[in-house]
Homo-oligomer: A and B are copies of this chain.
Amino acid sequence: MARLGSLGRAARELGITQPAASGRIRSMERQLGVALVDRSPRGSRLTEAGALVTDWARRIVEAAEAFDAGAQALRDRRDSRLRVAASMTIAEYLLPGWLIALRARLPDTAVSLSAGNSAVVAGQLLDGRADVGFVEGVGVPAGLDGVVVAQDRLVVVVAPGHAWARRRVPLGAAELAATPLILREEGSGTRAVLEAALGALARPLLELSSTTAVKSAAVSGAGPAVLSELAVGEEVAARRLVGVPVAGVRLQRALRAVWPVGHVPVGPVRELLSLTRGVP
């Protein structure tokens, strides 16, 4: 609409009629009590408020597109030419974006996705039930080749009210290890990295079964949590969570694309890897 200069044209482009578009804008304006478009007999133009609303709305649409890309991949079980198996963190935070980008390059390639931990991903690749996998962790599972596509940093976060939120002097390994934390249950990849980096951990403050649960516990002030940077980006930006500086601990893990030894990535797999910067 901003691009086309008229409600009617915009409506046609969206496949609806002019009165429908007009009515929608109008009803939104009634709800907000603010004019969103300047109407004139020669066309319409967004107001400042309209531009603002448009941009906020765009973010919803983008989130919805990511959802849709993911949902498509869950749906396309059969007949898909690119079968991806990925660990939860990657499937949650990175894959939808990659799928959108991939769809732009290979519009006709049906992609299917299944999520599971490293062992499951490895199994699917070795069985030929997946063409490429993505795993997080310290090494490449046996029988697979791989390439690092990104680094995932773990961060210590607390709610803004917590004492550590104001902390400027970095936490050391000893102090972190001695503090009860909100953690995923035993066996999660994130927790494994943390244990590897710190040796022994204090008894957890809470043990929860999903990243999301850990995050909301931290947001509501239950205590400090250690989470992937990917998972808390939004919350940190909005200051619902605050990152605590840490020194002397290597809280990093590689995210890798993997495939069966010898299967050099070609075709759609290679295309996908090139999107993730991990072309072998």
Contact = CB atoms under 8 A, between A and B. Distances in A.
Interface of A: 2-3, 31-34, 48-49, 51-60, 62-64, 66-67, 70-71, 74-75, 77, 88, 91-92, 96-98, 100-101, 114-116, 160, 210-213, 234, 237-240, 275-277
Contact of A92 (B56, B60, B75): B56
A210 B91 contact: no
25 contacts: A2-B210, A31-B71, A32-B75, A33-B75, A33-B77, A48-B114, A49-B115, A51-B88, A52-B74, A53-B67, A53-B74, A55-B211, A56-B67, A56-B92, A56-B96, A57-B67, A59-B63, A60-B63, A60-B67, A62-B234, A97-B238, A97-B239, A97-B240, A100-B238, A101-B239
Counting every copy of the chain, the complex holds 2
Contacts of A56: 63, 66-67, 70-71, 92, 96
Contacts of A277: 239
B98 A70 contact: no
A52 B90 CA distance: 10
Given A56-B96, A66-B59, A239-B275, A115 B75 contact: no
